[in-house]
Amino acid sequence: MCGLFALLNLGTGPLPDDAAQRTTRALHAIRHRGPDATGLHVDPAGRFVLGHVRLSVIDLSSASNQPLWSECGRYAIVFNGEIYNYIELRRELEAEGLGVRTASDTEVLLKCLIHWGSAGIDRLNGMWAFVFVDTATGQAIVSRDRWGVKPLYMLRSGPLLLACSEIKGLLAFQGSSLPPDHESIGTYLRFGMGGECRNTWFRGVERFPQATSEAFTLGSPNSTATRYWSYPTTRDIHDPGEAMDGLRAALSDAIRIRMRSDVPFGLSLSGGIDSSVIAWLASVVDQRPLSSYTAFSEPREQSELPRAQLIASRFGHACHPILQSDAHRTLDDLRDCIYHLDAPHNSPAIVPYIELCRAARNSLTVMLEGQGADELLGGYLIFGIFAALNQFHRGEVAQGIRSARTAIADQGLLSALANVGRYGSRRIYLRQAIRWGAHDILGAECLRVDPGPLRTLGLGQRDNFEEALRFWHERSLTNLLQYGDAISMAVNLETRCPFLDRRVVELGFRMDTDLLFHDGFGKHILRQLASGTVPDEVLWRRHKDGFTNPTMALVQTAAIEHGWPALGLDLALQHGIVTAAIRDPSRIRRLGENATFRLFSMMLWMEEFQSGKPLR
């Protein structure tokens, strides 16, 4: 796990004279991602620059520092991520006569690209963003993993294409910040969207799309982008026994290969189903007790901590509780999170998460997490609405009632009906922000934003639930993965997600949706798999707590008692993000926690990136 910077010259002119100096600045800006080594190469022919900061996890020797070059000196790569099946791929390469000098997954990736070309990408099981260069042909390949676990940001500056693991590296190379992107900011303020969007909060900076590779020719503006992976289109697994057997085998092996590490590793344990199943299977496939970390807030008896402690004790792991700090620390942590994310996030979980990561980093370098199970196996209670419509459509009235009751019990009847309206009507969805006064608080450009494709439902659709799962997994999940990467890497901690193993995902998208949401329970097949092993008080709880924490309430209290961040407010007004109506103190009390949190976060971002202050 690392950070990369690349400059590709797509024109015929020379590189900037100070390209090395500017790249050094960029690497310094992302140094938290890789404290163990820094590497830089400027092509003598002026075609490219590759830079890298390394967090050593596999093969700790300097032989695996990057940029990593082939023995012949023709090929080079900078890579951020992990290829979990690197041992199996290395065996394949060696069987075909290719020697491997190091014990790293980076060299295996390099040899895969040399030997199989772009087709080698489909063999990878892991998380990655990389830039690969063939100096003989002048070809470069840029690629990002299937679900966007690892970030990659792109900026075109004349004939130069810049790529970096974080936007602040691009800003450091440029020597100044970039203007705010009103469309992205408006999409966040109105709809809470962020990491799933192509555009970022900085004008001209884009996210490189997930599941995509793009081939460039140095010295030429031409390129060819290829989507190298797509979701299964047929749900052909209907038998619960087949589904459970397949899921246990795939998930167990996903955990096994994610426990490959030359540094200490442990577990993020929430007390929910997903991390509990990982804690169980990890104890089966490896037997080593893990240090587990659980974030909680007072009162502890109402948090997930008691269940996390129960799971840790059941499977022989040590549980380390992390209490969210006071209000002042919460606001400082929120600012830190926004800085490392290069943007605000709609989830208040970012604050306890950074505290958990800091604590875990004192003894770990790698941490297993349960991210991705809800989107794959139907864990969110709102999915009960989508499942219920399918069941009513098929005449399964009793099942439909149980599914609908789950969503209503979680959200209340009015909220559940509101969600039916929002997802059934694009017009209603687009008007949802009016209820908190966005029409006179937000500037005109922010109000005109279009969120793009939305989740939809209707009684006439073939499978509302299947469409919702695809939407959440392909789009909404990326937004969560963005904060997982940025915040863990802020403290040099690598996180790994077994539910994002390619085999697990492809299996999940082949399961009949009735196996996923059944008898009012989401993730039903996962619950069945762990039944009798994971305690029932964890496994068969209907209510999903999520990452419960007081962050939003603390932000709202700070805004009510002390007002908006002063400099951030002034900058937001100058850029036309908000109108003067937001200065009315009574507004804050009427906004509600969600809107206040987003606006407050936006102003902190303004202070960090639009005030002229230097990067940290």
> Quick one: which H or E segment has residue 279?
helix 273-285
Residues 46, 181 contacting (CB under 8 angstroms): no
Comparing C-alpha atoms, which of 233, 151, 170, 530 is closest to residue 373? 530
Confidence of residue 545 (pLDDT cuts 50, 70, 90): low
CATH top-level class of 231-435+450-547: alpha beta
Q: Is the torsion defined by CA of 193, 194, 200, 202 positive or negative?
A: positive
Please report where in the chains the tokens 């017009």 appear, as a residue: 427
pLDDT digits (tens, 9 = 90+) for 92-122: 999 999 989 999 999 999 999 999 999 999 9
Which value, in Å, is the radius of gyration of the alpha carbons in the chain? 24
d(CA 418, CA 414): 6
Q: Is 208 helix (H, G, I), strand (E, B) or coil?
A: coil
* Phi, psi dihedrals of residue 25, rounded to the nearest 5°: -65, -40
Q: What's the confidence (pLDDT) of residue 461?
A: 59
Cα–Cα separations (whole angstroms), residue 325 to 295, 304, 330, 533: 11, 17, 6, 34
Tell me whether residue 456 is exposed, middle or buried, using C-beta atoms within 10 angstroms of its C-beta: 0 to 12, 13 to 18, 19 or more. middle
CB atoms under 10 Å from CB of 326, counted, come to 9
**Per DSSP, what are the bridge partners of residue 131?**
78, 142
Nearest Cα residue to 139 out of 64, 77, 89:
77
Could you give the CA distance from residue 497 to residue 252 in angstroms, rounded to a whole number? Answer: 12
Q: What digits encode the pLDDT tens for the residues 191-239?
A: 999 999 999 999 999 999 999 999 999 999 999 999 999 999 999 999 9
Q: Span 453-478, mean pLDDT?
A: 81
Give the start-end residues of each E strand in 480-533. Answer: 494-496
Measured distance CA(169)–CA(346) in Å, rounded: 23
SS3 50: strand
Give 346-380 pLDDT, tens digit per residue: 999 999 999 999 999 999 999 999 999 999 999 99
pLDDT of residue 137: 97
pLDDT tens for each residue of 251-272: 999 999 999 999 999 999 988 9
- What's at 578, amino acid-wise? V
Domain boundaries, the chain: 2-227, 231-435+450-547, 551-609
Please name the amino acid found at residue 555.
V
pLDDT at position 82 over 80: yes
Per-residue pLDDT band for 420 (boundaries 50, 70, 90) equals: confident
Tell me which of 284 and 456 has the higher pLDDT.
Answer: 284
Q: Over the chain, what is the mean pLDDT?
A: 93
Q: Does the bond joining 67 to the residue before it have cis omega, within 30 degrees of 0?
A: yes
Q: Which of 274, 510, 509, 522 is nearest to 387 (CA)?
A: 522
Whether 543 shows a pLDDT value over 80: the answer reads no
Residue 407's φ and ψ, nearest 5 degrees, are -65, -40
Per-residue pLDDT tens over the stretch 128-152: 999 999 999 999 999 999 999 999 9
pLDDT given at position 10: 97
Question: What's the angle, vertex CA 464, arms to CA 463 and CA 465, rounded to 5?
Answer: 90
In this prediction, residue 462 carries a pLDDT of: 62
Class (C level, CATH) for 2-227: alpha beta
Provide the pLDDT confidence category of residue 389 given band limits of 50, 70 and 90: confident
Check whether 423 has a pLDDT greater than 80.
Answer: no
pLDDT at 167: 98
**Secondary structure, 3-state, 108-171:** HHHHHHHHHHHHHHHHCCEEEEEEEEECCCCEEEEEECCCCCCCCEEEEECCEEEEECCHHHHH
Share of the chain above pLDDT 70, in %: 97
Task: Please compute the mean of the pLDDT values over residues 294-323 and round it to a whole number.
Answer: 91
Longest CA span, the chain:
73
